[in-house]
Homo-oligomer: A and B are copies of this chain.
Amino acid sequence: MASIKDVAAAAGVSVATVSRVLNDHPSVSDDARARVLAAVQELGYRPNAVARSLRTDQTRTLGLVISDVLNPYFTELARSVEEEARAHGYSVIIGNADERPELQDHHVRTLLDRRIDGLLVSPTDGGSPLMLDAARAGTPMVFVDRWIPGVDVPVVRSDGRAAVRDLVAHLHGLGHRRLAIIAGPAATTTGSERVEAFREAMAEYGLPLPDAYIGQGDFQAESGRRATERFLDLAEPPEVVFAADNLMALGALDAIRARGLRVPEDIALAAFDDIRWFVHTDPPITAVAQPTGELGRAAVRALVDRIEGRPPQSVTLPARLVVRRSCGEPASQEQTSQEPTSQEPSPVTNRSQS
């Protein structure tokens, strides 16, 4: 592969001049510029980004460590992150932690070794030593979606509290009293916050949340299935299962169906995170929708600010409730005003007041 030396030789100039032309440095004669460009063209020369990075100490690359690529929420987040990063002249390398802390650490380490300019993380756990060290060592970092308390790193996330309150109001309005939740790992903020929001909202209605109605999941489908089976085995099973993410809702659906039960007649189902398929599931699933694309973009902006020496900002965006039929509401205007063609699910918000 042709190097800058080859180009310099072909153009009859020094490598310094070639470099200047390539980097749009102003002090280059038109003649030299033309000859260099011609040589570049002829040799099909492409600068070696590795060498450039070593010299400039910047890679123009962002690392993104997400908890699970198979989760459509993160996949959409990753897409918006890449898009915004590209607009700022950065590329992004994605690491998939698969909800496993060791794998997360593996990716963080690899990314750091590659000297990425900044790191976007949605932590799978409460913070490994590696992660904490990285933050303390001053690696430009931003948390997205999930975060680690006590670490001085900007957080870009959405607040589902109001939407969860709306959900409980909706469920209560439909006459449901025994509500259960499948939580994510307590070590993650989204794992604990969603349970807390749920518990608080229920308290407003004087509803208890017994331990038996709190299933412990890990944000993946299989755990949702297991937790749901346990609920169904209870002497008094819940009337509603609220899954803290869409994959656990999938597992719940599997479990419910395996018993030959119907949603919502036999048991109602709701989920955190909205995905396009929820419109077409049987029945369509009521969900809390996050402004995923906006979260990804805001996270990149914060990180780029941090990298380029501007003060980064934490951002919290509201989530909203999308009512469908999985909790028992009769088909209403919500069902018809969908926009099936939009990129993001853009469903109707139903903010029942409590």
**A residues within 8 Å of B by Cβ?**
1, 44, 46-51, 53-54, 59, 69-70, 72, 75-76, 78-79, 82, 86, 91, 93-94, 96, 98, 106, 109-110, 112-115, 133, 137, 221-222, 225, 250-251, 253-255, 257-258, 276-277, 279-284, 338, 340-341
Contact = CB atoms under 8 A, between A and B. Distances in A.
B341 A225 contact: yes
Contacts of A133: 44
Closest 6 CB pairs of A and B: A254-B340, A282-B282, A49-B113, A277-B277, A49-B114, A280-B281
A146 B22 CA distance: 35
A154 to B, nearest CB: 22
A46 B276 contact: no
A90 to B, nearest CB: 10
Contacts of A69: 75, 78-79
Question: Taking chain A's interface residues, is the majority helix, strand, or loop, or is none over half, making it mixed?
Answer: helix
Contact of A47 (B1, B113, B282): B113
Contacts of A53: 50
Nearest to A82: B96
A280 B341 contact: no
A50 B114 contact: yes
A310 B251 CA distance: 43
A221 B49 CA distance: 36
Nearest to A61: B114
A50 B137 CA distance: 19
A293 to B, nearest CB: 11
A279 B276 CA distance: 15
A54 B50 contact: yes
Given A93-B94, A277-B277, A280-B282, 5 more contacts: A44-B133, A70-B72, A70-B79, A79-B96, A282-B282
B277 A341 contact: no
Nearest to A71: B75
A225 B279 CA distance: 14
Nearest to A263: B280
